[in-house]
Structure 1
Amino acid sequence: MLIGILQTGHAPDALRPSHGDYPDLFQRLLRDRDLDFRTWAVVDGEFPQGPHAAEGWLITGSRHGAYEDHPWIPPLEQLIRDIHAANVPLVGVCFGHQIVAQALGGRVEKFPGGWSVGRTEYDWNGERLALNAWHQDQVTQRPEGATVLASSPFCENAALLYGDRILTVQAHPEFPNGFVAEMIEKRGRGLVPDPLLDAAKASLDAPLDDARLADRIARFFHERTAA
């Protein structure tokens, strides 16, 4: 199954030599699950021909805000609406989670409660999943028809399901602890309050449920085909 990765940002320059760029992180997360990948760097103006250029779509994270004025955001929102209308499966992560909500009528804002960084536990329909987070923006108003799949005390809309074809997640299952450790020191200092970074650093040895969520994402793709 061909998954089109819609790349909406680049990993920090200091992290790319050791970890690669965002599409590399997702391909490692979802490896050995019968998925093939092609990347379109929409952040650089590279777009697919339409919603059927891939059998499923994945929108990455980004340092940009969904509400910011960038020339690639309006066409990305239109592509999301086209994918939705075409019933092609779509997964969005962090910025991807937010831009899908915005494109379909929701609201994304810089959360007044501040940042969520590092290992975070989410209530996923009664099941606890621990995933790495790195965000200040949140979906503060869900689009009509969006169902909450996961939440935390800090993030009400932590995972959303739109019908049976769109799944979005605020956390970063593609961020292993080693990546977060470097993000803390090479990007976080001076941007995120030190107490949050120190707490995130202290939890780097705790286990994560990335593989469980990766299984769910792969199953979501495989169980849905374009109508």
Structure 2
Amino acid sequence: MTSRKPLLILKTGRKIPSLDPIPGDYEDWIAAGMGWERAAVRVIDAAAGGPYPEPAAVAGIAITGSGSMVSDQAPWMRKAADWLVGAVRQEVPVLGICFGHQLLAHALGGRVDDNPRGVEVGTVEVRLTEAAALDPLLSVLPARLPAQLSHRQSVLELPPEATLLGSSAMEPHQGFAFGSCAWGVQFHPEFDERITPCFVQHYREILAERGRSVEALLAAIRPAPESRGLLQRFGALVREAR
């Protein structure tokens, strides 16, 4: 196992303190959802600046969520973005999740900033496009599915030549594909109904300022097992690339 290429998880942030009672962090939930043993997974702390391996040395790359904002363009974000562009050029499978989706879109020429519709958080219906039904990754998902969301920023403009794969009421760019093996999804397929309420509470004040009911959002949270199929499928694609 260890002599073969690992799955690389680019850790761009840490879970919020209210999630401390739930074991693990973004990278653990992602690896578990993909069915990869932790011994076969390499985690790089992006905020620490790497170091980064040659993209060809890994079987695939997953980029985690984060409390950071892509629009801040911290030096570590620019370094990570440059490395991701190289990985995409070498056709290494890449999956960006939430912040990772935004960072990947930015790296490939898209535009990221605050979502003008406000914070999108809770269990949300995601609607996939017709293109998603033919996509190697998202074709495993139903055309409409519940998904767990928590974000303030969005991909306002997709990268040139990217293919739109999904949307929601508050977010026109829930998913995209770029080339043959790079994807971004705004939703969190690694989250479950234990995790999402903590993010609703985290945004309580911001939501109240926009006149949105925290209680209604909490009451609407439900399991979203369909979205985890995306992690399982990506994990399988990466195994094939090893």
Q: TM-score, normalised by structure 2?
A: 0.84
8 Å contact 2:121–2:199 — kept in the other structure?
A: no
Larger deviation, residues 99-108 vs 61-70? 61-70
CA change 1:32–1:87 in 2 (3 A) is: closer
C-alpha deviation, 1:170, in angstroms: 0.4
Identify the residue that residue 64 of structure 2 maps to in structure 1: 60
The answer on 1:94 being equivalent to 2:98 is yes
Which residue identity lines up with residue 238 of structure 2 in the other structure?
F
**1:45-100 CA-partner distances (Å, limit 9, x unpaired):** 23322212311000001111111142201100110111011111100000111011
User: In the TM superposition, what is the alpha-carbon distance from 1:208 to its structure 2 partner?
Assistant: 4.0
Counterpart of 1:138 (choices 154, 157, 170) is 154
2:218 maps to 201
| 3-state SS of 1:214 partner | helix
1:11 to 15, 29, 39: 15
- Alpha-carbon RMSD: 2.3
Alpha-carbon spacing, 1:106–1:180, altered in 2? closer, same or farther (3 Å): same
Cα 1:164–1:222 change in 2 (3 A) is farther
Distance in 2 separating the partners of 1:75 and 1:34: 25
Task: Verify: 1:157 aligned to 2:173, yes or no.
Answer: yes
Separation in structure 1 between the aligned mates of residue 206 and residue 48 of structure 2, nearest angstrom: 24
1:40 maps to 44
C-alpha displacement at 1:204, in angstroms?
A: 2.4
- Percent identity of the aligned residues? 29
Q: CA deviation at 1:219?
A: 3.8
Answer whether contact 1:119 1:204 (CA < 8 A) is retained.
Answer: yes
Q: Alpha-carbon deviation of 1:113? A: 0.8
In structure 2, distance between residues paired with 1:171 and 1:205: 14
Q: Name the counterpart of 1:169.
A: 185
Q: Establish whether residue 218 from structure 1 lines up as the match of residue 222 from structure 2.
A: no
Contact 1:149–1:159 at 8 Å: present in 2 too?
A: yes
How far apart in 2 are the matches of 1:207 and 1:111? 23
Q: Which has the higher helix share?
A: 2
Q: Which runs of 5+ in 1 are unaligned?
A: none
Provide closer, same or farther for how the CA distance between residues 181 and 153 of structure 1 changes in structure 2, counting only shifts above 3 A.
Answer: closer
Partner letter of residue 162 of structure 2?
A: A
What secondary structure, in the 3-state scheme, does the structure 2 residue paired with 1:120 have? strand
192 and 184 in structure 1: CA distance in 2 versus 1, 3 angstrom threshold: same
Q: Which runs of 4+ in 1 moved over 4 A?
A: 32-35
Alpha-carbon distance between aligned partners in 2 of 1:59 and 1:184, rounded to the nearest angstrom: 22
Alignment counterpart, residue 147 of structure 1, candidates 143, 163, 168:
163
The unaligned stretches of length 5 or more in structure 2 are 131-142
Match of 2:128 among 94, 107, 124: 124
